[in-house]
Amino acid sequence: MHVSNTTYRTLVIRLSLFTKALEDMIGFAVITILSVFSRKTKFQNMHKRFLGCEAMRKLRVAIVGAGLIGMRHADAVIRHPQATLVALADSNAQSLSRGLSALGDVRGYTDYKRMLEELELDVLHNCTPNFLHHAVSEAALSRGLHVYGEKPLAETVSEGEALVSLAKAKKVKNAVNFNYRGNICVQEMRNRLKTSSGRVFVIHGSYLQDWLSRETDYNWRLETKGPRSLADIGSHWLDLAQFIYGKRIVKVNASLFTSWQKRLNGDKPIDISSDDGASLSLRFEDGLLANAIISQVSGGYKNHIALSVDCENYSMRWQQQAADRLVIGRRDGGEETLYADSAWPSAQGKRSSLPAGHSQAWADALSNAISDFYEMILSDTSSPNVATFEDGLNIMKLAEACLASGRDGTWHSVE
């Protein structure tokens, strides 16, 4: 029997398609059986991909706290293609109403516990004042929700340890919002230390603000018995230094200062015992030294983070108030300013959608950090770009060690 070339090619194509379909059917059956009878997450994730669920799934997200930071979280959630913001909670009805008016079709609650009872959620963002961090995160974790919380993780180390243990027991993803990790220049510094910088000699920098420089400056953040400027802004610098270098700080020597022993809350004088700033000497686990100045009373510095890593081949310097620029300094040739660029290997094709020269700053870093966290949930993986509860607990212990060092003037070890 004569078979034309066209007919032959058609038969081959159909046979190939049949074979591929048969392979897919067999593969689907095997993965389905494994996902049902095995508790291994990798089989369950493979099963989802066979069904196409992974591409379709959207995380149902709620935010507790409708203040400045809570609404910035809302912006980042809305920007993510696989997340839906379904609810916002705040005990202050006025703040809640203002937040809801900017968000559209989002349910509002003045009681976050009621929200947790009524809604089926995947993720909760904890954007409350510090004294509520433990209670809100604990309630969400207890219901098996993934939690992305503002720092500090909790008010005390013991509370932080309890949250770490609960998150492990519930086997949920967790993160503390050290969002500067998400900045593309910070990512590039970390990458260059692995590729071209040579040996690191020293790390130094500062985190300076001025919003508490006057006697009449008063805020709920002053009402703490633990470290204050260290926990509020020093924590960000400490996390950045550890994240970029890739090693932990194990010893600290700190000198703390309080610029105003009394502040005015309206006409009422209030005694202040918490720190307005600190001078930190730090030692990493490999012996490398670092130092930093922390201050919330430095006029003209609005939100000035500066971190320099001085290496064998060149130095690298990043400043948050010029967040899309990385300064490279060489002995021969002076300084060169690089603009954040989606072409950088550290950008991984997703951290920057704009070419060099188009500003990328604080909000972009937050969006990147939250996006990395959601990717951890959707793919059931981990990411060094995300600060976990354990990382948040480590920073709390660092701040406590600095506070203890400030009291007795000696070096203190960090667990």
Q: pLDDT (tens digit, 9 = 90+) per residue, 46-105?
A: 444 444 444 558 999 999 999 999 999 999 999 999 999 999 999 999 999 999 999 989
CA atoms within 13 A on the CB side of 93: 0
Q: What's the burial of 357, exposed, middle or buried (CB within 10 Å: 0-12/13-18/19+)?
A: exposed
Please tell me the least confidently modeled range out of 107-111, 137-141, 184-188, 288-292.
Answer: 184-188
- Give residue limits of the domains in the chain: 5-55, 58-172, 180-360+389-413
What percentage of the chain exceeds 90 in pLDDT? 75
Identify which of 332, 330, 236 has the alpha carbon closest to the alpha carbon of residue 292: 236
Q: Quick one: pLDDT at residue 49? A: 44
Domain 180-360+389-413 sits in CATH at 3.30.360.10
> Per-residue pLDDT averaged across 297-303, rounded?
97
**Number of neighbouring beta carbons within 10 Å of residue 378:** 19
Q: Quick one: pLDDT at residue 159? A: 97
Whether 135 has a pLDDT exceeding 90, the answer reads yes
Whether 239 has a pLDDT exceeding 70, the answer reads yes
Residue 13 CA to residue 152 CA, distance in Å, equals 60
SS3 292: strand
Q: Tokens 């990395």 label which residue? A: 372
> Per-residue pLDDT averaged across 149-167, rounded?
96
Residue 89 CA to residue 73 CA, distance in Å, equals 13
Asked if residues 362 and 322 have their Cβ atoms less than 8 Å apart, the reply is no
Identify which of 67, 127, 132 has the alpha carbon closest to the alpha carbon of residue 96: 67
**Number of neighbouring beta carbons within 10 Å of residue 179:** 26
Q: pLDDT (tens digit, 9 = 90+) per residue, 328-343?
A: 999 998 999 999 887 7
Q: Quick one: pLDDT at residue 8? A: 43
Identify which of 148, 176, 71 has the alpha carbon closest to the alpha carbon of residue 374: 148
Element (H, E) at 377: helix 362-379
Asked if residues 246 and 190 have their Cβ atoms less than 8 Å apart, the reply is yes
Asked if residues 175 and 386 have their Cβ atoms less than 8 Å apart, the reply is yes
Residue 144 CA to residue 22 CA, distance in Å, equals 38
**Is the four-CA dihedral 122, 125, 130, 132 of positive or negative sign?**
negative
Whether 351 has a pLDDT exceeding 90, the answer reads no
The whole-chain average pLDDT of the chain stands at: 88
Whether 31 has a pLDDT exceeding 50, the answer reads no
**Is the four-CA dihedral 79, 85, 89, 93 of positive or negative sign?**
positive
Specify the pTM. 0.83
Whether 236 has a pLDDT exceeding 90, the answer reads yes
The secondary structure of 172-217 as a DSSP string is: --EEE--GGGG-HHHHHHHHHHHHTS-SEEEEEEEEE--TT-STT-
* Position 287 confidence tier, pLDDT thresholds 50, 70, 90: very high
Instruction: For residue 245, report the phi and psi dihedrals to the nearest 5 degrees.
Output: -75, -25
* Position 370 confidence tier, pLDDT thresholds 50, 70, 90: very high
> Per-residue pLDDT averaged across 172-195, rounded?
95
| Chain Cα centroid distance, residue 68 | 17
Residue 277 CA to residue 10 CA, distance in Å, equals 77
CATH of 58-172, picked from 3.30.1300.10, 3.40.50.150, 3.40.50.720, 3.20.20.70, is 3.40.50.720
> Per-residue pLDDT averaged across 380-399, rounded?
96
* Position 113 confidence tier, pLDDT thresholds 50, 70, 90: very high
Residue 48 CA to residue 180 CA, distance in Å, equals 33
Tokens of 268: 């009422």
The secondary structure of 89-105 as a DSSP string is: E-S-HHHHHHHHHTTSS
* Position 13 confidence tier, pLDDT thresholds 50, 70, 90: very low
Identify which of 222, 226, 221, 223 has the alpha carbon closest to the alpha carbon of residue 157: 226
Whether 254 has a pLDDT exceeding 90, the answer reads yes
Whether 161 has a pLDDT exceeding 80, the answer reads yes
> Per-residue pLDDT averaged across 241-249, rounded?
98
Residue 294 CA to residue 321 CA, distance in Å, equals 16
| Total residue count of the chain as it appears in this document | 415
Q: Quick one: pLDDT at residue 346? A: 66
| Beta bridge partners of residue 126, listed in sequence order | 64, 149
CA atoms within 13 A on the CB side of 200: 23
